[in-house]
A and B are shown apart, each in its own frame.
Chain A
């Protein structure tokens, strides 16, 4: 950093700064006290999706400059301005950055066939097809239309559903309609994990 740069910084053309006008500019070339190497991180506000409380988060990531640069979240903290969590996070929330960067995180659908101990990668279409097939078979087999008194109950007790916890009212309404119309009784959210 040379003196010209310093003038540019603190004086915008040495005439308007009090430092130089009062004759208090260091006479020799201004040496920067030390070098500052600045890292640039993107700051984003978001919500934790791991339970229905929906705590506010501030997330910090790198690599938002270039198109091909890989983005990486390196720090997550509670959002002090958020009316719900007021900056605090629970142990699950405090470990979010490790979830995000976990090597064990699922990136695609996998299946472990009955009797096997190996996980096999499958396509999304295959996964949807299998889930629908298995649900249909199980429901056809175990659906309870009437109870012992002959009253219509339409229950499907052999399958349960784990839903998302961070949903708005409308999402919850649709989820509920979907599950109940199949006759599902056991519904829960991932908030209980």
Chain B
């Protein structure tokens, strides 16, 4: 073995600083998600549903990849955002208009030739529905009232909203990342709930990022703390093996909530939304122990929340907070 003394300038630069926000790259997110859906379809026990999801996510990827005039006519003019307030793309913080509905039309026209006759009827009904009614559905969903939307439409409406939001979110997230802005419980860009925790290899192994269920932004949150209430006492991890489990569930004895954690440093193939759906049997275990889920999965949207359930908007200021 030989050793060499390197000049300080010759050692490759390595930034270990925590990035508070990681902006979404929608095309890459959808491509990765579609791939994982195809991989898990057979063993999920829900092969047909996974097949539909794969078509839908592939359609999302196609629409997200539009550029030039096509993008302009689909996504409309850039929404005017007030970047001085927190969560600039939250429902009530900007005029989001109805351009997302043209995204919905694009998605539906992508899906139409590929789905079964029954689904084609559902999709036709959805695009024929009154624009104001559909706008009302979107508002309900963004407010977390999924039960107010017909269950056969919710998946497609959310998919379209997600493409619209993620299209404009990247720039906002970039700006937030520059100033180190973040938010603990809800997405710092749009104020939505996370899908789950993603444990990353970069910039440091073991950092936890929450993945937004709407705009696909990821934001940093300290480990060993409840992602819903911020309490660090009584945090338990549930996993199949003692160490190196790629999927674990973090439960909190204070708020009785739980969040799934996906260790992409252990299994880089994990996709937060798909693997959450594929491991629903794990949820059963936690529900039996009296815990309830604190996250929203865009591929399921069935986690019915009580009308009164609203996680605290303001993060608690805490001693030793490193943000």
Residues of A in contact with B (beta carbons under 8 Å apart): 1, 5-6, 8-13, 15-26, 30-45, 58, 60, 64, 74-75, 77-81, 83, 86-87
In the complex, the answer to whether B154 meets A45 with C-beta atoms within 8 Å is no
Chain A contacts for B224, CB-based, 8 A:
43-45, 58, 79
A41 engages B49 (CB within 8 Å): no
Q: Which residues of B contact A33 (CB under 8 A)?
A: 43-45, 278, 281
Check if B80 is an interface residue, CB within 8 A of chain A: no
Which partner residue on chain B sits nearest A22 by CB separation? Answer: B152
Count A-B contacts at CB 8 Å: 144
A75 vs B222: C-alpha distance when bound (angstroms): 19
25 interchain pairs (CB within 8 A)?
A8-B287, A10-B280, A10-B302, A16-B147, A16-B302, A18-B152, A18-B155, A18-B300, A19-B302, A21-B151, A25-B49, A26-B48, A31-B45, A32-B45, A32-B281, A35-B281, A36-B281, A38-B282, A38-B285, A40-B238, A41-B238, A42-B235, A43-B237, A74-B243, A81-B18
B236 at the interface (CB under 8 A from A): yes
B223 partner residues in chain A, CB cutoff 8 A:
43, 45, 58, 79-81
Contacts of A58 in B (CB 8 A): 223-224
Report which B residues bind A (CB closer than 8 A): 16, 18, 43-46, 48-49, 52, 118-119, 122, 146-147, 150-152, 154-155, 204-208, 222-224, 232, 234-243, 249-250, 278-285, 287, 300-304, 322
- How long is the Cα–Cα vector from A23 to B46 in the complex, in angstroms? 11
Q: With A and B bound together, what is the CA distance between A41 and B118 in angstroms?
A: 46
Q: Are B204 and A43 in contact, CB atoms less than 8 angstroms apart?
A: no
Cβ-defined partner of A18 (8 Å) among B283, B302, B303 = B302
Contact of B207 among A10, A19, A45, A80 (CB under 8 A): A80
Pair A38/B242 contact, Cβ less than 8 Å: no
